[in-house]
Structures are given as structure tokens and as C-alpha cells.
Structure 1
Amino acid sequence: MRRSPLQRLVLLLVPALAAATMTAAAAPAATASETGTIAGTLTDNGAPVAGASVYLYATDDSYGDWAETDSNGRYTLSNVPAGEDAYLVSFQAAGHPEQYAFGKVNWDDADRISVVAGQRTTVDDALLPTGTISGRFTDSDGNGVYAWVRADGGNVSGGSTRTDSDGSYSLKVFPGSYRISFSYGENQQYAYGTTDHEQAEVFAVAAGQAVTVNDIKLQTGAIEGRVTDANGVAAADIEVQASGAGSGWTRTDESGDYRLDDLLPGTYKVDFSVPDGGRQYAHQSRTWHEATRFEVVGGETTRLDEQLLPTGSVAGRFVDRTGAGMANVQVSVSAVGYDDQGWASTDANGDFHVAGLFTGEYTVHFSKWGAIDQYAYGQVHAAQAERITVAAGQTSTVNDTALPVGDVRITARDAVTGAAVTDFWVNVKDWSGSSADGAVTITGLPVGTYPVSAGGDGYAFNDDAASVTVVAGAQVEVELSLRPLGRITTTVTDRATGAPAAGICVFPVREKSFNFPDGCRFRSDSQGEVTITVNDPDRYRLFALPDRSSPYGAQWVGTTGGTGSELAAKLLTVEAGATVAAPTVRLDRKGVVTGTVTTADGAPVRNGTVSIVGPDIGAGADLRYARVAADGTYRIDWLGPYRWPLLFKAEAHPYQWSGGLGNRYLGRTVAVQAGTTSTFDHTLRAGADLTVTVPSVTSGRIVVHNAVTGDRIGVVDGLVSTGVTLQVARPQFVKISCYCGDGMRWYGGDDFDSASPVLITGIGTKEIVFPAG
């Protein structure tokens, strides 16, 4: 699991406090017989580095510690809970960017370190060579500007610093390519003089090289205006926020006036929030996508007056089964079809009042941790909630009573053997529990019917393991059938020598679902061995993805060696509770592919990327995208020496595989040679316009998949109820899904397999409308 930048920042800013807090929070506490020691020396060109911070991170975020090197560059981390490949160690020396053992420049590529109980693990490291980026950040008159300066190297952190009174700064960075940003107030700009990350200049820095990057603060503008209510009366204390090229925030004064200063030039959308109530966008829009964009020009003021939409309120009382008012119950009033939400807490008498709600339909939710979770009137699921109409200038009354409660006792059996399962956990709505003696008892559940999700050690997570109907004043018995995990075992070796290769990420891929994972769950151990667990019985192939710093290249795992083709990889059938032995993963040295990506008229593309996998729609997995530079060139340096299809994307062009196709299996393959550089140029083909509409859904995400391979080859967010348009490579058959507010939906079916294929030909615009509901 990748540690978030915020978590690392906390440790960097407050090392001593972080060490104490993280160690105290380690779970579970370990005895001396269960712990070991990590110790070592940090050097710089052979000389000891004193006063450097050394951070220890558990890969599962369950533990952390901190130490400082002494005058000899030595450090010790004691009482570390034992674990195999369980830790990462980073070094932060003054004036030097953070690096990880052993000689790695980022979290993902860092070596996983094992700790053996009662033993010392030695982690020595040396500071990596660096270059320098320095310069001045000034205003148009040449005066220094205080700003945070950050070097963004993509997967390599260049660190940050602050300019001095003269606007000067200096950063040590690892060799690589960087974009330089300057942040001041609510604004951020990039060298040279742009607010767009993709338009920023890219600076190459070599070891020992000094690069100068000076920039001038963009001239800012302002937005000002007056906010009135629906009757034209000045509206005070309204929150006003502008978002776009920069950002700004303020509140209206007693006269309803506001002013947002120091806004970077560019376009903005402006929203207005009523205290404890709704939010609207200028002019009088309920959604971001329908909002008007306003241009801010440096040195000028844009006038923007806004009249608030009509509002009403919801008030009522929440009581227990005896009719007594219940205090401190949270009341959320949510607009149907919009993001607006108002909230309040009940007082000692159970009364509540939510004002500032725009007219329309709402649902009302009552919640109190461990006691109340229901919707008006007396419903346990949002889909069954009563629609409450809010009218202008009126108060809608919503009174409700706490539902009666009952208990549920849950046991489990192995779905294959029928044996009782003693170690498992369950969730029932917002209540959860783990087994202590082979059973989980959850008390105080409101009456109603709920799905039960469950999982356990060695068992697959099931989001719908059972259904339970809670009966007032009674205990209901439920027995779950838990499916044991399937397992795939293999050994990872160096093809040339046969030696085991440790720390290599290997992950399973189901047919028609090739994506890179967010982080890596399965890595080979010191003997090259790795066991992979899978939740669902199915057919799988294996993909080996060495870290970026590894000498080895990525591969699909074939019967006798690696391949760049999924179809040539060994197909494994995995059954629940069974273990399948996969072929040995034989790693080859990686090669490099470079080339130029151009448009049909020969011009370099804008905002281009190259990869071997479709767009990520999750939490930010490391997809190994290669950015296309301003001159149209790209470089991919982590593939094994096989024939690979490459996926290209650029502004005003669709995702397309080498050869201009939407089907990966038919894409032109590019030969990668171990230890050398191959060249492949690509001219992007124009796509066909596809417009997708999902009635009765405000905002959503449309994902277009190739119907044969399952690859994502198009993604667009927007106001899907009025239709969103994207370009798709042609010709091809596609299937379309919508990540809508009510979950994931497929056009013409319930899942990928049953969804209706849609032919994209490029003749006019293809229009698809999802069925209503």
C-alpha cells in the first residue's frame, strides 16, 4: 500500500512526535521475542552523513519509527516487529531530496526489508548524486515574491523549498526531468508563466548539473459583485468560491457584497453556498457542469452579481419508541438529483430545523453512531425513503420515530468442505463485527432487511454473502457460506542465470480485465517464490511488473518465458480452495522504446501519453504512463524484450493502439530489444464522436470498453443526463458503462458480458441513450 504524501509530510515536519505516536499505535504490541533491529550507516561519497532523519514505514501502514544518524552516520531502530518484506526505510538529509533504501528515489521502487525476531537487519545506504535547480521568482517590477517552490518529477519527488526575501531559491534534485511550480496564497503557476501543468516547461537535470529557472508572477485579476436572495434583498454571510485557473474564497458582507482578489488569469466557475443549506453556481445553476465560465484578466476586475434561488426549510422532531425526544441525532437533508445537502442535530427535545434549502425534492436521514440509521419515514434504505417537497418560503414538517431493534447472530461454513469457519468478519449496513468463537453477534439493528457482506482469513470477500431480516426484540440466526481463496504459486528467476529474483511484483489478470493494481500485494521472496491469492474461481494469466529501478523488464508470463502478448501468456484455471502451479517466471533484461507522436498533419501532439494499459479510473495506480514531450517525443524504459502493442492518447484524439485501432489484440506490435533502444513513431488517427446520455442522472462517469478485449478506451465525466461526448477510435465494437450516482450501470445488460455491443464506424455521431431508471 502506497503511503500518502500527507502521511509522509507529517513525519517530516514532526519527526519526534511522529515516531512516538506511530510506535505507540503499532498493532498489535510486540514482545521482545517478536522483534528485531534495523541499523546501518548513511554515507555521502564515503563520508558519514550526520543529523539525517531515518524513517521506517510498515508497508501495510501498521507501524512506523524514526531515528537520526550520529556523527559517524550511524542509526538504530530497535524493537521492530518481525515481518518478511514488511518495511521500507527512507533517508532525509539536509539539503538533499528524500531517498529510499537501497538507492531508490520513490516509494514504489523501494526495497522491501525483512526483520527477523532477535536479529539485526543491516540497511546501509549512500546518498544518490543530485543536480541543482535554482533561480528567482519575482513580480513584474523585479521584486522578490515569497512562494513555495516545488520540483515535480512525476514518480520522482524533487522536494520543495521557500523563496527568500529576494525571491531566490535552490533545490537539490535527483537526475531526471522536472516541472517547476510556484505557490503563493491560493494560487499556483508553473515555469514559464502558465497555470497549466501540461503546458509547463520540462527541465532535464543531470547529476552535478546546475539548472536555472527564473519566473515572473503572473498579473492577477479579481471578481467582485453582490449577492441577493430570491426577493432581491442583500444576502449576508454567503460563502463565495471561485475555482479554475486558480482559486479564491470569501463571504459576503452585510450589504451582500464580496470581492475575490489575486486570481490568476484564466477561466473560473463561481459557487455560492447558503449557511447550512444549498449551493448554487453562477448563474442560478444547481450543478458544476451547467455553470457559466467567467474569464479573469490580469489587472482587471470581472463583475459578477448573483441572485439566489428560492429556498425553503425542513423541520421536525425525532423521538424514541416511547415518544421521548432523542438528542444529538444527526439529520441530513439531501436533494434528489443534486449534490445539495443541509444538516442539523436534534436538540434535547428531539427537535431540528434545516434552512436554506433550494426548492425541490429531498430525502431525510437520521443517524447516531451505533444506535440510529434510518430514513423518513421509518425506512432503512435510501431507495425507500419518502420524497419530501421543499417549497419557496415554506417549512416542510418531517417527524419520525426510531425503529424497533433486534439482534443477529452469524456463523459461517467453508463453501467447499462444509467445515465451520471460526475466523471471519461481517458487515451489516453500518454495523460490523469479527468472530471470537466462531460466531458474530450484532445487537441493536433496526428492523428491516439487509445484505450481509463478509470475508475471512483465507476466504474471499463477498459483498452479498447473505440477506438478513431483523425482527423486533428477537435474535435471528444466519449461517454464511464462505468461499475459500484460490491460490497460484510460482517462482521468479533470472532467465540467464536461473538465480531467484526477489521483490518482483506478480499479479493475476482475469480475461477482459487487464489493469495495473494500485500498489502490489504479491512480491517474490528471497527465494523468488510467490503465492498469489484470488477471490473468484476463474481463468487467470500472470503479469510480472518489476520496479522501475530493476534491470528486468515487464512481461506476460508464458509457458517457457516472457511475452508481450496477453493471448500468448499461460492461461490458468483456478478453483476455490485449490492451488495451481504456474510456470516459472523467467525475467529478461528490459529495453527502451522511443519515438515521436504526431497528428495527421505532422505536428507534435498536445498532452500526449503512451502506455500498454487503458486509462486508470481508480485511486491513482502507477500505470507507467510515458508523457509525450512538447516536441512530440516519448520514452518507455521498463518493458521486457518482446513484441508489445502500445496505447497512445493525446488532446483532440481518442485512445488508440499502435496502428490506430481500438482492439489491443489487433494492434501493431513494437519490438523491444534487451539493453538497447528501439524506435517507433506513431501518427494519431482521428476518432468518431460518441454521445452518451443517461436520463435522470445528473453527474456521472462514462467508460467505454473495447467489446473484444475489455480494455478501457475512453473515459469522460460530465452531466450525463443531458449527454456527454468523447472521441473513440474507429472502427470497433464497444461496450459502455456508467459510474452513476446509483452505482455502476451497463448499456443493454447487467455486466460486461451481457452488455450490448455498439459498433463505432466514424460516420456522423453515434448517440447512445441508457434506458430510464
Structure 2
Amino acid sequence: MRGSIRGLAALTAAALLGALMTAPFETGATAAADDGVLFPLRLGKFNGKGQFPTGSLPGACVTAYADDDSVLAQRCGDSTGNYDLTLPEGVPFRLHATAPGHADVWAPTVGDKSLAVRYRATRYLSSYSSPDLLYLTPGGAGGVTGRLTDQAGGPIAGATVEIMRKPLDGFPWSSLAVTDADGRYRVGNVPPGQFKVAIGSFAPAAPVVVAAGADTTYDWQAAEPVGVVVLKVRDQVTKAPVRSSCPSMTYYVCATDGEHRLLVRAGDLSLTAGGETTEPGSWIDRSLNFFHLTDRPYFSASTPVHVAAGGTTTATLDLPPAAYLAAGVRGPDQNSMPQGCLHPVPVLPWHAPVDKRYVSGTVTCVGAEPIRMGPYPLHPLQLFVSPENWTGGYGAQWVGPDGGVGDQRLAKVFALRHGHNLLDPITMDEDATIQGAAWDPAAQQPAFGCIQPFPASPYLARAFHDEAPYRRDERCTGEHRAHLFRLDMLGPYRWPVYFTGEEYASMWSGGVSDRLRAELIPARAFTLPGAFDLEVKKASRITFTTAATDVTVYNAYSGDVEPAAVAAPVFVSFSLGERRCWYRQHGPTPRGGAVRLRNPYVIEPRPGAQTITLSAQNCADQPPRLLTPVAATGTPVAVGPMFRSAVTGAVRAAGTAAARWGTPTAARLALVKP
């Protein structure tokens, strides 16, 4: 079995590596040919227990080896310990450091090439090189040797023994060996110092002290029935072994060939492994998994295993492949430096369950330097970009094929490939504004509510998360805003506008109940913003009596998630235990409302409130088909003179509601129609 560092040891080493070594990205841009990438690195040395290595080590040399053991580059440090390496782009390599009077080391901090991490050089983020990389310990190397036995004193063959040191105990270091038929093992090339011997995750790690030029003996006997599991970790699609997959039963070492030999308690257990599975979007995720590398990322998975005492059990675990996405933003000219927050939205069937892997991480905000996001499933996706904190003079957008767009239907679909995907820089345009008001014709008064440029998608729930408070106030109507709403920081494109209010049904620009028929409103400069009026009506409220969970309401035309206050026909999904259901009526289908279809899945809006009972009796396993939208009827919505008068204070002037909110005329509409 072969392995590489994992866990805390890898985390610390990778944090020191910074953005130095990266796995290759798939990119939409064509890169110019380059013979190599220059990396300025520096060797350091350990400077006391509990501290990270500091200082320099003159005379130390580093060699980059290819997979076939050929030398790709070799360089020795200068009088300050600094050295440069020029490496061919995209070629995998391992780094080995030596210095007179010191134990040699393989990057990041292991004693054997079989455990060393494979890196790839790339121009991507190479300017972020960290000053520290390889740490050598004074004194010759030692070793740890011993024997593993079971309760009866018999040998335990084929089990992994790990020698490790955590970052808090010194600079991290790890190595391993597998016991032979007599249960014996030896780990060599261990630098002098204090370490721990780990037999299995169920047994406490034992401290040992290694001296230069000598072996330290550590024997271990099981106090309970144990067995060995040979866990083979594979790619779920290709069935190829997964490099550096890390089972939950190990400490800090991952098998680079995908085969693990684990000493575990006898009996039933569950084994979990994953190629790169730290929290999506976190700093640790970007540094550790981006630069310390398996070739391809994977999501974690589990498998049940029954282990016989004294025996060897073989198990197979298939990991779902994943993808990383990296992108940066730029302004419309070379002097602009916007900051944008990226929101990936998967392109899935409307009825697919929410994939929490897209919504569980933090929002990723970037500048000109790309930052990696993910891991994500291999679904196609679209990108919504919002200005960081909704400030800065740049507008939000859906990333389109040739620039920003306001309508999601025009957004580009990115096909993710297994591994790393680098997008071309995203250009953010200067910001523009849409302004409007909502009117309740039944009550002859303004309607209170808020607007946003996209539906209530769980994938966009964090798009306004970091919004400045005054921006939130401006998106909503109220007396403090003269009953106007305003949405700033939009890109200068045509946008559908979504209105929601506590007392009112959700509506789209154009006075329609679904996004597909919404009128696209042009966002324009603040001095003459894009403008529209919206007549709203009281909501048809739906309440549910049920013991079900995960109740979700969908617009029957677009499949968008809706609140319980609706103006459109809807579908409802819910869960009964592990079963996902779609509400399906029994008996005669009520008729009425805007849609007169005998569709048992449809719940049509009605005046007032209606109560729906969700149970196994009305649970259908198959999702319904979306309805075909009918042509929009009613008054168009772009009635700009009202807003121009509002900006000049006319709305706040004395006057009757009828005078301020009169029915739009053809002449008024002609002034503002796109």
C-alpha cells in the first residue's frame, strides 16, 4: 500500500504551501505555450517544539522527481536558504530535500517517496508562493520497529502502522509501514524527535522518541478481537482507484493507490472515505485541497462492513466524482477593480430535490485573482454574480455567453468536468437601477412589499445575504420611501422583477404570476432609472394539515419555488419519512381560476384561504408536468411618469390617491416602452 499525508499534518503543510502547487484546471481560455513556471521557494528549519519552522538553512538542496523517477529540476539554496525551481507546466512531480547533517524529507513532510504528495506546476495563482515549504531536522535519521499481535499472541499480518507528529507537537510529519506475515514492521528515515505510533483509530496513539541513527522499538498487543479490512476505494464512474482517498478509520495517512489496510474492531461497522471533502468554500478547503493534491476531487461515501476476528475482510467503496470551479472578475476597463460574489445555480429538472452542496457553503467573493469554489456535483450550472455587499458601483448579472444578462434564460450553461474548471474572467458592468411601486386597486392604496431580480430559489437565498441594510430598505416599499421600491446595483440589462408581500400574492413584472411571462424591465442609470408600476391583489393563502416534512410549493408554469401566498396554480411536494411525494387530488378536480384544466396535481388559487391535507392517500411518486403558460393579459407595466414625478417630490405632494395612481394611458406607456 502507498499513501500520502492527510488530516492535520496535510492541512498545516498545505497552509504553508499557500497557492504554490496546484492541480491543473480545465479552462475556457487558450493559454500560450510556456516551457516552465518559475516558483520562488525557501527552505526552513525547525525552531523549537510547538512552533512552526523559521530561519533559513544554507546548503540545502531540493529535487523535483517525475513519476518515472527522472529528475525534472534540481536546485540548492543560497546563503539565506532561498532557491528557485523552474518546472514544466502540468507535469506531476514530487519534491525531495536534503542538507548535510539533516534527515532528508519528501514534501510536504514525509520520510518516504511512496508517501510524498504529487504536485503539478501551473501559472494559476503562482504569485501567491509561500516562503516556507520543506523543513529538515538536524541529525541523522532513525526508525521505529516492532510487532503487532492479537489477544492470543498471534501475529497480525497486513495491518498499517502510522508514525506521526501533529503540528502542535512540532512541525508535522508522518510515515507508515505494513506488517509482514509475522506481524513485524519498520518505519525508516524518521527524523529525531517525539512522535506517536498509531495502530488504529480505536486504539490510543502511543508516544515514542526517535534518536538519530537508531531504531526505537514499539510492540503492541490487542486487548479485544480485531481484524484487518482491505478497503479498495474507486471512482464511481470509471471504477479506477482513487488516489489519496482517506478512510474514516485512519489517522493522518491516505493511500495514494486507493487500497487501505486498516486494523479495526471485529464486528459490524461503517467505513467512510472521500478524496477531498472539507467544507465547501472555506479557507481550509481552498488551501488544502486546491494545492495539496489528488488529481481529482471526490465526495465522501460510506459502506457497511462485517469484520471477522483474526481475519482479513475485503470491501469496495465507490466515490462520486466532483468538480471545482474557479473564476475571477474584472471591470469594463483596465482601471476598474470590482469585487463580485459568485452564486452557482445548478441546471436541474425543476422537480429535483434541492442539492444542498450548492447552498451549504459560504458565498465566494472574488476580485481579479480567481478563487476556487466547490466541490460541486458534475451538473451543468449557471452563475449569478452580485457586487460584494451590493456596493462599489458595479452591477449584478447572470453570466451570459458574451457578457452579463438580466434574464436567467439567457445565461450561459457551464458544463463542469471532473477535476478543476477555470473560467475566463467575468466582466462586471457599471451599475444601473430599476424603480417602481405597487398599487392595490381593490383598496385604492399603495401595496407594501419587496422586489428582487430572481425567484425565491434556494440557490440564490444568499444573494442578498451581505446586502447593506439601506439597500434592503430601498428594495421594499413603505412610507419612508414614498411607497416606492428601488433596486440598485443591477447590471444595465433587461430584468424580470419579482414582487412579494405579506398580504399580497407574489407577482412578476407585467402583472403575471410566473417568471416565463414576465416583462423584462431595462435597468438604467440612477438619474433616469428603469421604471414600472405593478397592480397586485390579495394573496390566496394555502395552509397544510399534515405530519409530512419538507413541504415545498412550486409554480405550476415555471417550477419556481413559491411562498404559500400565491396567485398562480401550484404543485406541492412533501416527504413522508424517506418517501418523497407529490400532492395529487382524488375525486372531481375543482374548476375555476385562471386555469381550467382537469389536472389532479394542480392547486388553483382561490379567494381567501384554503386548507390542504397532505397524507399517504394523496401521495403520488411521479412529479407532474409543468403547465403551458397562457398569453399574459391586462395592462402593461412600464408606466414611468409616475416615478419621474415621485423623484421630483410630486408623489409626496398633496393629492388624492386616484390622481396619483390613475390608470395608465396609451400616451404614458408610449413614453417608457423599450
TM-score normalized with structure 2 length: 0.44
Looking at secondary structure, tell me which structure has more strand per residue: 1
* Bigger relative CO (Cα 8 Å, ≥ 6 apart): 2
> Is the radius of gyration larger for structure 1 or structure 2?
2
Looking at secondary structure, tell me which structure has more helix per residue: 2
TM-score normalized with structure 1 length: 0.39
